[in-house]
Every structure is written in C-alpha cells, then in structure tokens.
Amino acid sequence: MDLFIAIFQGIIIASTPLVLAAIGELVVEKSGVLNLGVEGMMIIGAVTSFIVTYETGSHFLGLIAAVISAGLVASLFGLLTQYLLSNQVATGLALTLFGLGLASLIGQTYSGISLDAFPVFDVYLLTEIPIIGSLLFNFDYLIYLSIIIVVSVYYFLNKTKLGLVLTAIGDSHDSAHSLGYSVKMVRLFAIIFGGSCAGLGGAYLSLVQTPMWVENMTAGRGWIALAIVVFAVWRPLWILVGAYIFGGITIIQLHVQALGVNIGAQYMSMMPYLVTIVVLVFISVNKNRLAVNAPNCLNKLFTSDL
Amino acid sequence: MFKLQKKETIDQSSLYTVPLIAIGCSLIFVFILFLLIGKNPVLAIFIIFVEPLLSIFGLSELIVKATPLIIIALGLSIGFRAGVWNIGAEGQFTIGALFGGATILAFYPTSGIWILPLSFFIAIIGGILWGMIPAFFKARFNTNEILVSLMLTYVAILFLSGMVYGPLKNPDGFNFPESRLFHDSGTLPIIFPGTRAHIGFLMALLLAGLMFYLLKRHKFGFHVKVSGESLRALVFSGKSTNYMVYLSFIISGAFAGLAGVIEVSGPVGQLVPAIPVGYGFTAIIVAFLGRLNPLGICFAGLLLALTYIGGEAAQIKLGLPNAITGVFQGVLLFSLLAAEAFTNYKVTLKKMRGNF
C-alpha cells in the first residue's frame, strides 16, 4: 500500500508541470496560434522562480516571478508572430533556443544550490484520513491550482462569451475579424496566458519537484506538453488525463528500473518519448474527431490590419 | 499604428540586407546584455567574435564546427522551402554518428580505404531511416511531423548513450562510457597538419555547390519551389503531396546522417554520449539565416560556428557559461524573423483611430 501511495504521489508530482504547460498551450492553440516555445518559457519560469525564491525566501514571490518572466518572453513571441507576421514554427524554435540559453546564463551562479521544501497544503483533519488523506490531501497547493486552472479553462472556453470568441478566432480568423473582433489582441493575450502557465510549470520543477536549479532541467517536458495538447484533441479536461498518463509512464519507468529489471536505463528512459509518438499516431488516425476539435486556423497567417 | 501589406515582388537585395540587419541587431542586444551583467561589452564582443578569427587554431576550429552545420542546414533547406518541418535533424545526426561509428568499430583494426566510404553509406542509410519514421506517419496518418521528429531526437540520444554504455564500450577502457578510438582507416584525413580541420569541410562545400545546381537548373528545384508555394499546385504538376514529405525527410535525414559520421570520424574520433551538442537545432538557424540558399548557408554556417567557438572563448577568458552561444543564436533567429517582415511586407503608418 505504501508503495502504491508513493507511486500515486510521484505520478501527480511528475505530471503537474505538464498539466500547467499543456493547458496554457491549449488556450494558445485554440486561438489559432502554434507556439513551439513552451520548453523555452518553462525553463525561464524555472530559473526566475528559483532565483527570486532563493533571494527573497518567499515561494509566492518566486511563482509571481515565473508568471511574469515567462509571460514577457511569450509576449515577445506574440509581437513577432502577430504584428510582424513572422513564421510561428521558426519563432517558437527561436524562443526555445533563446530561453534555454538565457536561463543557463542567468542561473549560472545558482547551479547546485537547493531550496527549502515547498509548503504542503495541510488541512489537519483531511490529511489524517487513512489512505485517502495521503492520496488526495497531502500535496502542495500548486497541484490543486493546476486542476482549478484546467477546470476554469474548460468553463472559459465553453461557457463564456470571450471563450467562444477565442475559439471562433482559432477556427476562422477572417470571419471573426469581419464580425469586428480584434483577432491579434485576443491572440496576444492567449499567448501571454500560455506563457505564464508554462512559466508556472517550470517553477513547479525548480521549486517543488527537485527544489534546485539544474541547467536544462526541463529536459523536453515542454515538447511533451505540446504533444499532450494533441493527445487531448484540444479538450481542456483531457489535458489532465494526458498529463497523468505521461507522468505515470515516467514514474513507473523509474520504479521498474529500481526493481532491477535487466533493461538498460537508457532504454527505459525512452519510454515517455516513444509512447508520445505512438499516442500521436493513434490520435491522428481518427480524422473526424480531429476535424471537430482542432482549431482550423492553427499556424495560419492572419494578415489583416490592426 | 502601422500596417503591413504583402509586397508584389521582393527585391533581390533583401537576400543580403536582411541577414546583415539581423546580425547587427543581435550584436546590439549582446552589447546591452554584457553591460547588464557587468562585463566590458567591447572586450567581450572582441573575444567572442573577432579573436577566434585571428589565429590558425581559431580558423581551423571554425571549419570543424561549420562542417556539420552547413551539411545539416543544406538538407533541411529543402524541406523548409517545401513547408515540411523536420525539427529532428539532431536525432538523424546522432543516428548517423552511431551507425557510421559502429561500422568503423566493427572493422577495428582492419585497415582499408573502403572502410570510410562504407561507414558513410551506412550512416546515410541510418539518417534516412530515422527521418522516414516521421515522414511515414505524416504521409500516412497526417501525424504532426514536428513533434514526432523531435521525440525521436530524444530517443536517438538515449539510444547512442545506451550503445556506448553497452555493446560499443571500449573493452580496454576501464569501464568509461566511450568507445575505442577509431583507427587510422576510420579517421578522416586532415587538411592542415597540426589542426583538426578535416576534409569534411570540402565535402560540405561540394554539397553546397551540388545543391545550388539542383535547385537552379533541375526540375527537382522546381518541384521544391512549387510545393512551398502551394501543395495544390504541386498536385497539378503531377506529384502527390506525400512526395515532398518523403523527399524532404529523405534528403534532410541523409544529410544529417552524413554530418554525424563526419563528426565522429573527423574531430571526435570515437563514439561518446556527448556527440549530439545541438548542431541539428543550430542548423535550423543556419538554414534560415542563409535564406535557404546553398551559398548563403555556407556563410551562415561559418558565422554560427563562430558563436560556438566564441562561446568557448567567453567561458575560458570571461568566466561566462557557454550558454551565451544559445542566447546569441536565439536572438539572431528572432532578429532575422523580425527583419523578414520588412522585406516581405510594405510597412505603412496609419493614423490611430479613436476606438482602438
């Protein structure tokens, strides 16, 4: 039972950065923009939150720093792709390369330092409930926040006017423009929101998961977050399913390695990436479901004036 | 606010001006960055971008680093022209290095002039096979080739590492995760004695020339161009849309695989887990900075090679992390993409409306 609880908690903790980054990217893609810079925004969030938390001693300020800094680099992507009409794929890649480089540069002197553990959300009575207490009420508050964000995004996209406008812009920017909606403005805000979420995901890595700063510590999670958006077929609640599956594979793979199964560590570590590929292929086979949910204008240029 | 209008024709001069403007902007950014982190910007820029060019050693290292960048970028440029996004050249490069390197090791210590050509052939096949995976899924199921090729990069790097920790480990190497050093028949000839500059660079230039000819004079170049402008038009010209997907990945996979084997049989001389150092990603910038033009790619490859060497110099002489290379490369690509707006579009100012 203890092992089961440990695995369950491990999965939730491994998945939360993916949930945060993927739900942000989902909103961006729903608005019709493909931002491949998730990895870069995550690592910027990771390094700034670490530095601010280390210097001020406040985890909360660290999180704020992650949200702002990643939002800022995302807005750079937004300005380039929306107002200077640059290629989204190339700009996203530039954002990733830039983010990884900049993070290593500013984090250089903080390498290897570790932080105090992130406070656990501890409601006295709830945590005491046997098993369920450890399974549901023994986490840091960011995990609950990530679920709240996902549910809010679901509500926002399906039940609010602005959410429907955003979806409409992603499906047909020309029609939305004709109706008088500001395509670029909405997209810019979506991009900044996506960046902030990715930054929060990065902060989760350097403040909670392994409370220290390590160069390139995102290790491809930003790209997996992009794959999770496709896995979820752009439906917010499915982001949770996708992220927990990917987190699950990572953790179970580690436990299998620890049990001493005689397969090289490298081959076990391939699992999350291989599974991502298999999942992407399976998702793309079902063309109808994709046609209903995928934003039509994803990665298409919108050239009308401001 | 301003307004962008697509230009009817693009002036030829922008081929040169846009990259130059981008380089200028990036230098300004780096200047400010050095000021912010308290280093003398003039000295730092001199150490990074000028000093490596002043010594034979620096120049030879420039050639060594530029070789894989140019070769990979040449391959990628075909796909990028055609609107097919192979982001996984790093993986194809790694597989090329592994396949080529394993071939050389398999014939240790046999000597023979045929060993290198054989290993080059196997490496190219490896690169193509690795590139065919995303191409097949893209063509068959329309699976996103960007994500698949990228995931395969991580798989390839782990695969190389698994091999070097396992079957390819040097039996006399005290359990270090590295292969044997390649013997003489598995090592590329050096052009300038006493340096690491090898004939791979000449191959890169030759390939650039070949590519230039194909794009300019051959029907192949026409298909590539048409595909990039409109997939429908390509279908009318008698080719299926999947033709360009496969072709792009075959060419970029082959080139990346070739670059991989050149890297291991040239400067590295053995298989180690740290062979992939990001050339596959940097080559994307090289392709764009070179305007997807073979000759431009040669210049861009040399420039980005300079950022690597400069990064190392900055690490040694200024105590900066060599991540400064990544920052500069990212900024360069940003500036380039921004500068492009001013060549493809006409910028006109318009009056702010009250309701903005």
Chain B interface includes A112 (CB < 8 A)? no
pTM above 0.95, yes or no: no
Of all residues in chain A, the one with the smallest CA distance to B144 is A280
Backbone torsions φ then ψ of B3, nearest 5 degrees? -140, 140
Distance from the B105 Cα atom to the nearest Cα atom in chain A, whole angstroms: 21
Question: Please, how many CA atoms are within 13 Å of residue A63, restricted to the half-sphere of its CB?
Answer: 15
Q: A15 or A261, which is more confident?
A: A15
| CB count in 10 Å sphere of residue B108 | 15
Chain B interface includes A303 (CB < 8 A)? yes
Q: Is residue A103 part of a domain?
A: yes
- The interface residues of chain A toward chain B in range 202-221, judged by CB-CB distance below 8 A, are 215, 220
Give exposure, A217-231, as e/b (b: 16+ Cβ within 10 Å): bbebbbbbbbbbbbb
Q: Is residue A162 part of a domain?
A: yes
Ordered by start, the domain boundaries in chain B are 64-77+87-189+204-209+242-345
Chain B partners within 8 Å of A84 (Cβ)? 4, 337-338, 340-341
Whether the CB-CB separation of A218 and A43 falls below 8 Å is answered with: yes
* Beta-carbon separation of B333 and A94 below 8 A: yes
Of all residues in chain B, the one with the smallest CA distance to A277 is B148
Chain B partners within 8 Å of A86 (Cβ)? 337-338, 340-341
Of all residues in chain A, the one with the smallest CA distance to B86 is A89
Cα dist. A290→A287, B28, B72, B273 in Å? 5, 45, 33, 39
* Beta-carbon separation of A97 and B285 below 8 A: yes
Per-residue model confidence (pLDDT) at position B239: 65
* Beta-carbon separation of A90 and B333 below 8 A: yes
* Beta-carbon separation of A267 and B162 below 8 A: yes
Chain B interface includes A2 (CB < 8 A)? no
* pLDDT greater than 90 at residue A22: yes
* Beta-carbon separation of B337 and A94 below 8 A: yes
Name the one residue in this structure whose structure tokens are 């072709």. Answer: B247
Domain that holds residue A126: 2-293
Which 3 state secondary structure label does DSSP give B64? helix
Interface test with B, best of A269, A277, A282, A289 (most B CBs within 10 A): A277
Q: Is residue A109 part of a domain?
A: yes
Whether the CB-CB separation of B72 and B256 falls below 8 Å is answered with: yes
Distance CA B327, CA A69 (A): 16
Digit-coded pLDDT (tens) for A64-107: 999 999 999 999 999 999 888 888 888 998 899 899 989 988 88
| CB count in 10 Å sphere of residue A214 | 16
Across chain B, mean pLDDT equals: 85
ipTM of model: 0.84
Q: How many domains does chain A have?
A: 1
Digit-coded pLDDT (tens) for A244-270: 988 888 888 877 777 766 667 788 888
Q: Is residue A77 part of a domain?
A: yes
Q: A68 or A217, which is more confident?
A: A68
Confidence band for B63, pLDDT divided at 50, 70 and 90: very high
Chain B interface includes A80 (CB < 8 A)? yes
The CATH number assigned to the domain holding A215 equals: 1.10.3470
DSSP collapsed to 3 states, A195-218: HHHHHHHHHHHHHHHCCECCCCCC
